[in-house]
Structure 1
Amino acid sequence: MGLSEARTREIVLGYLQREARRNRQPRQITVQDARQLQTWLVVFWLNQDLQARISRFLRLGGGFSGRRRADMRDYLIGRDQETDKYEDKGLQSKARAQIPESVLDISRRPEHGNFSFELEQDDILALNLVRWFKESFMRWIDPITCPECSVETQFESTLTGGELNEEDRKYGAGRVEMHRCKADPSHPIRKFPRYNVPEKLLETREGRCGEFANLFMLFLRSVGLDARIVHNQEDHVWNEYYSRSAQRWVHLDSCEAAFDTPLMYELGWGRKMSYVLAFGVEGAQDVSRGYVADYHEHGWERRRKWDEQDLAEKLAAITTGRREILSETRQTELAERDEKQEAWMADHEGRLRVAQGSNDTHKARKSGTKEWRAMRAESGAGGGKSFAISTLHTKLNPDHTLRSVDDNLRLGGSARRADHYLILTPNETSQIGTAFVSTSIPSTSSFVVEVDFRITLSPGQDQGADGMAFVCLQQQGDIPAQLSGEGGAGLGYDGLGGSGDWATEIDTYQTVDRCNDPPTPHISLHSPPKSHHRHCIAVTPPFSLPDLSDGETRTLRIAMNAESETVQAELIIPGEMEEVLPLWEAKLPSSGMMAGSSKRLLGLTASTGGIAQAHEVTRFDIWDLSRKSETDA
């Protein structure tokens, strides 16, 4: 048929998307439908690779594990139960007393703003409230300053579990961040407890998006607005209120003082989202279609964490449980609201037209430091800096290859050779494998590394199992005896090296509790080499990478410029037309590197935890750019 793989994939996924997602109600099959299906079947059966990919995407045979269903259920129940805390009348009165009368004055229309519907009193109140909350009441915590001298601090550690004090536990702080003064480390530590109780947040009045949305929900309820809290799986949270004028739920983001700009996260921030779920005291709803600009084209492809039917059934059960105690009149009213909300979300083209006419929708994120926004890839849809790693080195033989380092390659743990490739971990659980080579590259010299890697899941498995990393350590003297870090979420490198050392991780399993991981797969730069993302200085945007656990061989190219102390990374995807994906370019933190006589100790690590996955390397080439410069001279 002469169709490229990309076009074949587009046809098949396009057909599946339209028929399995958009058409929620049964209908008569048309002649056009039949022809599309015929095309789909022909293409599908002629492309075995595509069959495997589609089968994998739809979880044919293996299905979703009981563990993932349980995790989903616990997550939804937890989010649902949290909405009750905003209904405390005494707490609502305390919050309302904080609101100035000028904010409650709904007799004056806003002096500026571009609105897609006629504002009535409730709408004016919500708009006044979100602007006042952002501009006058709540304070974004970063940068965190020293309590003694007001100089910026740096993150030092996190307290959890038994390390928390009584007040932390009382007010729902599951963790406490510890920050130390950059100017004088002897100054008192600045603590930042992540409180989850609105009453305490009324007192502290500081935080990030979680604290903002948490407390703002209380203010919305305190003035009598029907409100919900909205959780996005890509680590953001905001609110909605119900507008009788618009006859739908209206987006409010108190971090940005944003009003009715639901597509700003994708069209403004440049974020790619999967699940967006709203929770209130009268039910829960999947509102992803209202916030994901490309939902009908690619957005639904990113929804791989939970089974769609399971999710819909659990949200419906939560809603039914919430509403069965309400009067019939109220239940009917809410059912009509649901229908109108569904109709609004289904009008994809209409929502896009409104968004295109709104300047606010296309604004980059304002809250947070510049470095923090860049690390989260939220500096704007077009704010990324493009770059390309020079390929001049490829015209010369590498200084080190898998074959040339036979006598100088230190293997550890499960790592072993197999013919002409390297197995870091076999397809088994609880494995750690490492492979390091002591190079002759001085710590003050630049270098390029290319790694051909292959990550393969166990048959029937539907998610990745931890991952692998490239590690750069400074070596002075003999190779250390211990060259293995923590397993599981540590990817085999966590704990190796210190200041001045770094690692690039290829992470295929999202570990939120231990590492605060963004969605996987992701490729990120960490310095010092620790897997928790507070040490991350660059990361690929969510859903910007293909599936990296599919058994296909890909190339990770990393360039380290010693003069500027920057690291660049690219992912090379083979095929008829080789595709090169620039991943990131980042400056390493100031480190006080060892003397120039020290060498580079470069290596690869990988690990698995409770899920099996094979990590294999077919090529590991290293170019010493300082030696190439000498040759050129």
Structure 2
Amino acid sequence: MNFREADNIARQITQKWLTLLKSHVKQSSDVRVRSFLHQLEKNGSIAFKHDDQRLMDRALDCIPLQRLYEEAENELNEQDREGSLEDAVIRRLLYWFKNEFFSWVNNAPCDYCRSEQTQSIGHTQPNSDDMKYGAHVVELYMCSSCNNTTRFPRYNDPGKLLETRRGRCGEWANCFTLCCRAVGAEARIVYDTTDHVWTEVYSDFEKRWVHCDSCEEAWDKPLLYSVGWNKQLSYCTAFSAVEAVDVTKRYTRNWPEVLKRRNRVREIELNLFLHTLTEERQKNLSSEQKDALNERRVQELKELEETSKRAIIKKDEMIGRHSVLKGSLAWRTKRGETGTTAIAQTENWMATLDITALKLSRLFIRRDVEVRLLGDSSILTTEGVADATENQMIRLTKAVPDQRGAAFCKHPIPLNDGLEALEVEFKFRITDQNGLPAFNGADGFAFVIQGQSEDALGSGGCELGYGGIQYSLAIEFDTYQSSDRCADPSGNHISIHARNPPLGNSAHHDYSLGHTSRIPSLQNGSWMKALVRLIVNGTIEVGLAENSDDKFIQVLKVTGHNFLDYLLPKEKAWVGFSASTGGLSQAHDIIFTSIKEYRP
């Protein structure tokens, strides 16, 4: 008996076993189960549009394919290692799609005056044109500038999305999967029942399906959701024109825990349902095509079993959702996608400081804050704002290698007279030399309160301009993982650093009082807001917010560390910021918002 004969016998036995199994497994009559399976099938129907040659041709007209191939060849040459040109093309397609083609919509901009200051006012009924392109949901937004109402249809037609070029994760994955098919890749769309959508591309070089998220420009980072975003995944289902596959095991390293959450349908019923969908999609294929797909499916099942038990996590799978541009921090927090465990469990807004026994003794706001510039720092005026005094911007470093700069408020904080708490609010932005996101830049900046002197400037590189400053406490906003010199936990973290006086401060992780890597990317190129709260009861809190948000989300809190312990016996301290660049660079921009002192 040769291999083909044995394989045919095995296939016949499997088919008979499946037929027998179907006859013994009764379809659930539970309306919730039937609704869940119906929704899966409905989601998967979009895959047929991804194989529509007319739509693929339209997509190809939009894609700079020759340029992508040239960039892919350059990428492989620069890396000087084995690789697949086809895979490199998809990586370049990811970059192009995210940075040049598609845009994220949080609140839809006004159709009349183009203002982005709009507020959601609910939904409206879709019209016939909306329905034609699969927009069963139409959101409404009121413009705060002109008071006109803008409709935002949530289109589900990849051809229409080639025209609108905007949306959220569903629209992104839908259109990107079509683009992958247009350039000749085997691609399928993946729906996650915790409300995210992405793409998988089959790599002939790797002989496996590769995770591919256009929103995040992520290639082969399957643990990004469960580890980085702290998503509680349960069902991840991939659909192509010829398959319907449960791929949840690819996106977790704790399958037993995921199984506890999979209570929407019996496992056997789900497997048979997806098998039936796959059979239906393959009914017009030749036996040779079916054999090839079946062989690949068997290999994938083996791979899924192995990957669900993996122990190694890539560092770039540990960060929260990659860019502020992809939805407000509050929106991602509500969805549990920032990656911070505490935030994933609740909307963890920073509470208002309890000042029952305190009073605000002094308040500095933007126009009152005079700063002393040190090193490479400078003053710029924010773009498009006539009143420079109201929006004075401090550039701590330019996007130039080997920079080191600091800026401290000229008015020191008296540390006597019963100082009980400080609150400092500021805005920050990190960009490359072109004012764009600096995802490959370094090193980061730090909020610093220090009693050494008004012109204290520390070491550069991974020390972020504060390393070596005595009588200081620093809160790093660190964007580069310096493993050798500073033992950084990741390339995107916030960490609180201090040493007992009179020792100089250090950015080495041995001197961290607490840190978090589960935050949005700090290098996203947009303005973000931060709030630092220091309380003598030993509490230190850090909050982040979008530039347009009013509330701050607590991303880091430590207790048992009175900030004054690191400043005394000095009688006064200066508040400010420091930053540095090394071989890699980025611009670090700061705007002071307010400094509040609380005393009895």
Q: What is the TM-score normalised by the length of structure 2?
A: 0.51
Number of the residue aligned with 1:602: none
Q: Matches of 1:114 and 1:267 in 2, distance apart? A: 28
The residue identity in structure 2 corresponding to 1:152 is Q
Contact 1:151-1:183 at 8 Å conserved across structures: no
Which of 124, 128, 136 is 2:88 aligned to? 124
Number of the residue aligned with 2:49: 85
Q: CA deviation at 1:118?
A: 5.2
The residue identity in structure 2 corresponding to 1:243 is S
* Residues 235-273 of structure 1: per-residue CA shift (max 9 Å, x gap): 111110111121111011111111110110011111111
SS in 2 for 1:252: strand
Q: CA deviation at 1:183?
A: 3.5
Q: CA deviation at 1:352?
A: 3.5
**Equivalent residues in 2 for 1:156-235, closer than 5 Å:** 156-160=121-125, 164-185=126-147, 188-235=148-195
SS in 1 for 2:222: coil
Q: CA deviation at 1:80?
A: 3.1
Contact 1:109-1:124 at 8 Å conserved across structures: no
Contact 1:241-1:249 at 8 Å conserved across structures: yes
Q: Matches of 1:383 and 1:104 in 2, distance apart? A: 43
The residue identity in structure 2 corresponding to 1:190 is T
Number of the residue aligned with 2:370: none
Q: CA deviation at 1:125?
A: 1.6
Number of the residue aligned with 1:110: 75
Q: Matches of 2:308 and 2:31 in 1, distance apart? A: 38
Please say if 1:312 is aligned against 2:274: no
Contact 1:141-1:208 at 8 Å conserved across structures: yes
The residue identity in structure 2 corresponding to 1:166 is S
Q: Matches of 1:106 and 1:336 in 2, distance apart? A: 33
Q: Matches of 1:262 and 1:293 in 2, distance apart? A: 10
Contact 2:242-2:278 at 8 Å conserved across structures: yes
Number of the residue aligned with 2:294: 335
Q: Matches of 2:53 and 2:90 in 1, distance apart? A: 19
SS in 2 for 1:221: helix
Number of the residue aligned with 2:316: 359
**Equivalent residues in 2 for 1:357-506, closer than 5 Å:** 358-366=315-323, 367-382=326-341, 384=343
**Cα–Cα, structure 1 residues 154 and 309, in superposed 2: closer, same or farther, change >3 Å?**
same
Number of the residue aligned with 1:556: none
The residue identity in structure 2 corresponding to 1:284 is A
The residue identity in structure 2 corresponding to 1:97 is D
Contact 1:153-1:180 at 8 Å conserved across structures: yes
Q: Matches of 1:214 and 1:246 in 2, distance apart? A: 24
The residue identity in structure 2 corresponding to 1:74 is H
Q: Matches of 2:116 and 2:255 in 1, distance apart? A: 44
Contact 1:268-1:365 at 8 Å conserved across structures: no
Please say if 1:299 is aligned against 2:258: yes
- Uncovered stretches (5+) of structure 1, i.e. residues with no partner: 1-24, 26-61, 391-584, 591-633
Q: Matches of 2:164 and 2:114 in 1, distance apart? A: 20
Q: Matches of 1:114 and 1:381 in 2, distance apart? A: 33
Q: Matches of 2:174 and 2:141 in 1, distance apart? A: 23
The residue identity in structure 1 corresponding to 2:239 is F
The residue identity in structure 1 corresponding to 2:119 is Q
Q: Matches of 2:134 and 2:239 in 1, distance apart? A: 19
SS in 2 for 1:108: helix
Which of 235, 242, 264 is 1:282 aligned to? 242
Contact 1:373-1:379 at 8 Å conserved across structures: yes
Q: CA deviation at 1:151?
A: 4.0
The residue identity in structure 2 corresponding to 1:262 is P
**Cα–Cα, structure 1 residues 114 and 312, in superposed 2: closer, same or farther, change >3 Å?**
farther
Number of the residue aligned with 2:579: none
Contact 1:106-1:121 at 8 Å conserved across structures: no
Q: CA deviation at 1:128?
A: 1.2
**Cα–Cα, structure 1 residues 169 and 383, in superposed 2: closer, same or farther, change >3 Å?**
same
Q: CA deviation at 1:363?
A: 4.3
* Residues 451-495 of structure 1: per-residue CA shift (max 9 Å, x gap): xxxxxxxxxxxxxxxxxxxxxxxxxxxxxxxxxxxxxxxxxxxxx
**Cα–Cα, structure 1 residues 349 and 236, in superposed 2: closer, same or farther, change >3 Å?**
closer
**Equivalent residues in 2 for 1:571-610, closer than 5 Å:** none
Which of 186, 203, 206 is 1:246 aligned to? 206
Q: CA deviation at 1:106?
A: 6.6
Number of the residue aligned with 1:146: 110
SS in 1 for 2:230: coil
* Residues 338-368 of structure 1: per-residue CA shift (max 9 Å, x gap): 1221121111476432x33x42453434221
Q: Matches of 1:240 and 1:365 in 2, distance apart? A: 19
* Residues 304-326 of structure 1: per-residue CA shift (max 9 Å, x gap): 11111110001011112222322
What is the aligned residue count?
334
Please say if 1:322 is aligned against 2:287: no
Q: What is the TM-score normalised by the length of structure 1?
A: 0.48
Contact 2:202-2:209 at 8 Å conserved across structures: yes
SS in 1 for 2:75: coil
**Cα–Cα, structure 1 residues 383 and 254, in superposed 2: closer, same or farther, change >3 Å?**
farther
Q: CA deviation at 1:383?
A: 6.8
Q: Matches of 1:319 and 1:154 in 2, distance apart? A: 43
Contact 1:140-1:207 at 8 Å conserved across structures: yes
Contact 1:268-1:380 at 8 Å conserved across structures: yes
SS in 2 for 1:135: helix
SS in 2 for 1:337: helix
Q: Matches of 2:260 and 2:289 in 1, distance apart? A: 36
SS in 1 for 2:294: helix
Contact 1:274-1:292 at 8 Å conserved across structures: no
SS in 2 for 1:263: helix
Q: Matches of 1:268 and 1:389 in 2, distance apart? A: 28
Q: CA deviation at 1:190?
A: 1.8
- Uncovered stretches (5+) of structure 2, i.e. residues with no partner: 1-13, 15-25, 354-543, 551-600
Which of 89, 95, 98 is 1:134 aligned to? 98
Q: Matches of 1:74 and 1:234 in 2, distance apart? A: 17
**Cα–Cα, structure 1 residues 329 and 350, in superposed 2: closer, same or farther, change >3 Å?**
same
**Cα–Cα, structure 1 residues 86 and 79, in superposed 2: closer, same or farther, change >3 Å?**
same
Contact 2:255-2:309 at 8 Å conserved across structures: no
Contact 1:365-1:380 at 8 Å conserved across structures: no
Q: Matches of 1:253 and 1:303 in 2, distance apart? A: 24
* Residues 28-87 of structure 1: per-residue CA shift (max 9 Å, x gap): xxxxxxxxxxxxxxxxxxxxxxxxxxxxxxxxxx99643133213322322332211122
Q: CA deviation at 1:114?
A: 10
Q: Matches of 1:330 and 1:225 in 2, distance apart? A: 17
The residue identity in structure 2 corresponding to 1:359 is D
Q: CA deviation at 1:119?
A: 2.9
Q: Matches of 1:108 and 1:361 in 2, distance apart? A: 29
